[in-house]
Amino acid sequence: MAGSIDVSGMGDQIQAEMQVKQFRDFLIQYNKLSESCFNDCVWDFTSRSVRGNEDNCAMNCVEKYTKVTQRISERFQELQMLMNENAASAAQKLGKLPMA
Amino acid sequence: MAGLPALNEDQMKLVQDLEIEMMSDMYTRMTNSCHKKCIPTKYKDSEIGKGEAVCIDRCVAKYWEIHERVGKKLQKMSTQDEEALKKLAAEQGLVK
């Protein structure tokens, strides 16, 4: 999750700042995820410790969430590429772009 | 988690601030969750009932536990990812 962007070409200071920002984004995501999985999985307050089924639910919740975000990002990228291609070809048809 | 380079004083301060910020963010979320889970919205009484108090205590304990378990799970998943990538890179290195 962290360190997925290539920052090797930048100055040390900027690189460190970006890494801290990425780390911050990751931590916020972590907080949101544990909140959401807690809300969805823990309903029983007759005991103080997490039960087996609650733990199971929460761990599945985490794993599924990462899979869902990954899939959404894939579909989003596909759509974005398609939109860009459409826009480019439309612009070409209108003669606004010179043929390469 | 991993991947932060050696830090100078300013950066150490930044990371410490980050820790405080995350703790308070988590605290806000926990407060909202446990309020929602333990306090009925009838508000017949302004006092915390006995059952509500017990529920809140357990809710806080459980929230902490889930938060930690989720963190460990994420860590485990990311190390698994890294290992898979390394393996893939090694295999491709052999093919070439």
Within 10 angstroms of residue A7's Cβ, the number of other Cβ atoms is 15
Best B62, B68, B85 residue to mutate vs chain A (most A CBs within 10 Å): B62
Mean pLDDT of A60-82: 93
Residue B29 belongs to a domain: yes
pLDDT in tens, A2-24: 445 555 566 887 888 888 889 99
Q: Give per-residue pLDDT as tens, B19-66.
A: 999 999 999 999 999 999 999 999 888 999 999 999 999 999 999 999
Q: For chain B, what percent of residues have pLDDT higher than 70?
A: 91
Residue of chain A whose Cα is closest to the Cα of B75: A1
Whichever domain contains A55, its CATH number is: 1.10.287.810
Enter the tokens of residue A84.
């860009």
Between chains, do B4 and A19 touch, taking CB under 8 Å as contact? yes
What was the ipTM of the complex prediction? 0.75
Q: How far is CA A96 from CA A72, A82, A85, A87, B59, in A?
A: 33, 19, 15, 11, 62
Provide the 10 A C-beta neighbour count for residue A2.
Answer: 17
Q: Is B34 on the interface with A (CB under 8 A)?
A: no
The domain total for chain B is: 1
pLDDT beyond 60 at B96 = no
**Alpha-carbon distance A86 to nearest alpha carbon in chain B (angstroms):** 34
Indicate whether B2 belongs to any domain.
no
* Number of domains within chain A: 1
Among residues A23, A20, A7, A15, which one has the least CA distance to residue B11? A20
Lowest mean pLDDT across A84-98, B64-78, B80-94 = A84-98
Which chain B residue is nearest to residue A33, measuring alpha carbons? B70
The whole-angstrom separation of Cα B71 and Cα B23 is: 13
